[in-house]
Amino acid sequence: MERPPKYTADNLTTIQSFILQEARRHPNASGEFSWLLSAIALAGKVIAAKIRRVHLDPVLDIGGDNVHGEQQKPMDLVANEIIIRCLGDRTDLGLLGSEEETEPVQLRSAEEGGKYSVLFDPLDGSANLGLGVGVGTIFSILRHEQALDAEAPHLQIGRKQVAAGYILYGPSTVLVLSTGRGVHMFSLDPAVGAFVLVRPDLMIPSGGKTYSLNEANADSFGPGWRDWLSGCRRTGWRSRYIGSMVADVHRTLLEGGVFAYPPTARHTEGKLRLMYEANPMAFLIEQAGGRGDTGEGPILDIKPTHVHQRVPVILGDQVGVDQLLKTLRR
């Protein structure tokens, strides 16, 4: 009888197996945090199944405006409800906040067993959904530290995140996750219905030559931004912009370069939300060896004042972000 093969990095590892392996590093782990991550993975699988039918079911009719005055489509609402249903019965969840809702929902206090807060953008880039462009879910997990602020225990700096990630719905469904020990990429295998580890310990390549930002707004960028763009064009950088943050940041994570959403005349404080988009993405980029900044300091050091706060965003490899910041500070 042949012996089973020894473990190698090529062995099949599902996200559930990976989460359990990580939990073993913490002797006092209760398993509750692992259940949260499993619930998010389940929500991603359900949303992916819905998106695959986006042209077959009538989900693209207009569904009103969200709290930011942005047009919602039913798929935004469907994704929002799926995540709430997957997470809402977790007894260790103290607070659940969605970008689509006015305020997070306080489910239970720390004294009642609420150990974690989960904030999420259920369907980033949904305006592209009907065009077959990649869209995604972004999530951030914080400790539900009631002593911080009984009114808003979730308003913590991004460095206090215990996990962050995104799920990209495209040609394949990809889940990228960090629990503070590197960045790991999983791909959904529809044949077995599980997210499988495909890229452990991702590191953002240094010195990438791709920039990603909406150049249609360039006339309202500050002079430093315009100088940087001119320098990129002179030195052979490529422009790649999809208009879906998850897809654009995913490419930046894999190829290096810079993703940015600068302040504009319309959005003088920036457009992207600190708690729902900037913090989780900056956490991932920094865990992969890159850098996240607003142009005035690290994203992860910002003390939030409200849950829908907006900030300028610069994400990318160390070399590219450093070059941009030097230009902005001249």
Identify whether residues 134 and 50 lie together within a single domain.
yes
Please count the structural domains in the chain. Answer: 2
Identify whether residues 66 and 171 lie together within a single domain.
yes
Q: Is the pLDDT of residue 326 over 90?
A: yes
pLDDT in tens, 80-96: 999 999 998 888 898 99
Q: Is the pLDDT of residue 313 over 60?
A: yes
Structure-model confidence comparison of residues 2 and 70, the more confident one: 70
Which of 175, 199, 223 delimits the end of a domain?
199
Cα–Cα distance for residue pair 51/49, rounded to 1 Å: 6
Give the residue among 106, 155, 117 at the shortest CA–CA distance from 309.
Answer: 155
- The domain that holds 300 is classified in CATH as 3.40.190.80
Pair type for strands 194-199 and 272-273: unpaired
Mean pLDDT of 156-160: 96
- Give the predicted TM-score (pTM) of the model: 0.91
Which of 199, 223, 252 delimits the end of a domain?
199
Cα–Cα distance for residue pair 303/160, rounded to 1 Å: 11
Residue 294 lies in a domain: yes
Identify whether residues 192 and 274 lie together within a single domain.
no
pLDDT bin (cut points 50, 70, 90) of residue 1 is: very low
Q: Is the pLDDT of residue 205 over 80?
A: yes
pLDDT bin (cut points 50, 70, 90) of residue 11 is: low
Q: Is the pLDDT of residue 176 over 80?
A: yes
* Structural domain of 314: 210-328
Mean pLDDT of 107-130: 85
Half-sphere exposure of 241 (CA within 13 A, CB side): 14
Identify whether residues 121 and 19 lie together within a single domain.
yes
Identify whether residues 48 and 76 lie together within a single domain.
yes
Read off the tokens for 133: 């462009």
pLDDT in tens, 26-76: 666 667 888 899 999 999 999 999 998 887 776 555 455 666 666 556 888
Detail the DSSP E strand segments found in 114-155: 116-124, 135-143
Residue 7 lies in a domain: no
Mean pLDDT over the full length of the chain: 89
